[in-house]
Amino acid sequence: MDWLEQELKEALARKEPSADFASRVMRRAERPERKLYRFPRWLAAAAAVIVLAGAGLEYRQYRGEQAKEQLLEAFRIASVKVNHIQTQVQEVGK
């Protein structure tokens, strides 16, 4: 071991922590461990899947209602036109 290594050994000699270190560790070790309730991951994932599926279903229903409304509106317009044509055809025949 050369001079530098000898110096390093002395520079990095072990040091003592604070005088009350051990007693602080013992106090913390003896303290009852607080059990934090952790929400299970699988439950969170399942809840997310259910919410997404519900939202998807709701959206499909909404789109279905919209399509139905549009179809009925189209039928109404078409029936007005057909009535109009029918009236004109009847007048020509008179």
Partner 1 sequence: MIELETTPEIALDFSSLVREHQSMVFSVCWHFLHDRELAEDVAQEVFLKLHRNMASIQSPSHAGHWLRKVAVQRAIDAGRRRVRRPQVALADVAEPVADSRVGDPLLKETLRRLIATLAETPRMVMILRYQEDLDPAEIGRVMEMPVATVKSHLQRSLALLREKLTRRGLREDRWIG
Helix (H, G, I), strand (E, B) or coil at 16: coil
Q: For residue 68, how many C-alpha atoms fall within 13 Å in the half-sphere facing its CB?
A: 6
Which CB atom, from 22 or from 48, has the smaller least distance to partner 1?
A: 22
The least CB distance from residue 65 to partner 1, in Å, is 54
The least CB distance from residue 57 to partner 1, in Å, is 45
Which CB atom, from 28 or from 94, has the smaller least distance to partner 1?
A: 28
Residue 7: CB atoms within 10 A of its CB come to 10
Residues that bind partner 1 (CB under 8 A): 3-18, 21-22, 24-26, 28-30
